[in-house]
């Protein structure tokens, strides 16, 4: 019951904020310029507050357009206000653009980022193309369905959306699937013949069992012994070339290795080929068959 009262109070607070914001008079371009200069040049906070309060209606307007993503209105308004403050911080009055036009972009950008961060527990994408697809997919799908007088997209419709937004058809298919349903908790209870159980208990465990883990560790140890024994048959320079070129976390180029060894890039390549052949011969003598390298 306490939660309900809290929600009701927040709704009243949101409505009061909306009413007050919509009552604020619009600023003329000259007034905008004066306030923006006062804030930019003199850090006059009263001018900043007047500028921000005058365009709270831009935040309300943008928030109303993003409500259908299922996020709280007050959170959207907060994000929009962050965008409004960022616009005031970055606005250059000397360029003589309207602050309202400049602020609208920042408000929308902050709200879009908020929606992408919170719409789903699975990241939707942060590139410009992915954002455009996320926020325009429903509109374009509705337009195509109206033109075809049918529900759902066919391959032609998906291709058209991909062409319009400059993305891959696969991206359109993925987004279509993502937007067709929301996230579901793994703790959702499902019913079967044996009674109720949680969804997560029905998911398969693809991890190796303890026996496979032990066998894998033993196999890796055996292959490591074979490799170290084969490497010991190479001279120091050949060992260095093989380790730096094939066994390190980062591969060193032939040119870099040649400078370090004081020889040409071509000579390093020749030594590498010779060392690899030696390794192959030594391993073939020690291992009965090639398949045992991966199933020792």
Residues 133 and 95 in one domain: no
Under 8 Å between Cβ of 141 and 148: no
Q: Is residue 220 over pLDDT 60?
A: yes
Under 8 Å between Cβ of 39 and 6: no
Q: Is residue 114 over pLDDT 90?
A: no
Q: Please give the pLDDT value at position 35.
A: 92
Closest alpha carbon to 85 in 68, 102, 97, 72 = 102
CATH number, domain of 93, equals 1.20.120.1810
Q: Please give the pLDDT value at position 186.
A: 52
What are the tokens at 12? 């009243």
Note whether residue 135 is domain-resident. Answer: yes
**pLDDT-wise least confident of 3-12, 153-162, 267-276, 279-288:** 3-12
Q: Which of 5-19, 171-185, 201-215, 230-244 has the highest mean pLDDT?
A: 230-244
- 105-106-110 Cα angle (round to 5): 120
Average pLDDT, the chain: 78
- Per-residue pLDDT averaged across 91-113, rounded? 88
Instruction: Calculate the alpha carbon distances from 167 to 29, 57, 123 in Å.
Output: 39, 34, 17
What are the tokens at 226? 């074979």
**pLDDT-wise least confident of 119-123, 158-162, 206-210:** 119-123
The domain tally of the chain equals 3
Domain that holds residue 114: 14-119
Give percent above pLDDT 90 in the chain: 15
Note whether residue 6 is domain-resident. Answer: no
Note whether residue 185 is domain-resident. Answer: no
């Amino acid at each position: 019951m306490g939660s309900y009262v809290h929600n009701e109070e927040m709704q009243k607070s949101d409505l009061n904020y909306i009413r007050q914001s919509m009552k604020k008079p619009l600023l003329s371009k000259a007034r905008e310029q004066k306030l923006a200069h006062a804030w930019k040049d003199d850090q006059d906070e009263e001018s900043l507050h007047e500028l921000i309060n005058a365009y709270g209606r831009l935040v309300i307007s943008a928030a109303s357009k993003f409500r259908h993503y299922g996020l709280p209105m007050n959170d959207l308004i907060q994000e929009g206000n962050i965008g409004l403050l960022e616009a005031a911080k970055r606005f250059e009055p000397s360029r003589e653009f309207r602050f309202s036009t400049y602020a609208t972009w920042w408000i929308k950008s902050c709200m879009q980022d908020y929606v992408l961060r919170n719409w789903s527990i699975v990241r939707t994408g942060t590139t410009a193309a992915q954002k455009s697809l996320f926020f325009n997919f429903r509109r374009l799908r509705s337009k195509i369905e109206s033109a075809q007088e049918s529900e759902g997209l066919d391959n032609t419709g998906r291709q058209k959306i991909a062409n319009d937004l400059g993305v891959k058809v696969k991206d359109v298919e993925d987004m279509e699937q993502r937007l067709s349903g929301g996230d579901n908790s793994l703790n959702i209870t499902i019913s079967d013949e044996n009674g109720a159980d949680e969804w997560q208990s029905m998911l398969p465990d693809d991890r190796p069992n303890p026996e496979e883990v032990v066998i894998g560790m033993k196999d890796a140890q055996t292959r490591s012994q074979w490799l170290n024994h084969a490497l010991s048959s190479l001279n120091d320079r050949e060992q260095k070339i093989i380790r730096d070129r094939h066994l390190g976390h980062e591969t060193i180029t032939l040119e870099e290795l040649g400078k370090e060894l004081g020889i040409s890039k071509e000579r390093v390549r020749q030594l590498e080929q010779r060392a690899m052949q030696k390794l192959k011969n030594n391993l073939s003598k020690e291992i009965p068959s090639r398949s045992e390298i991966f199933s020792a």
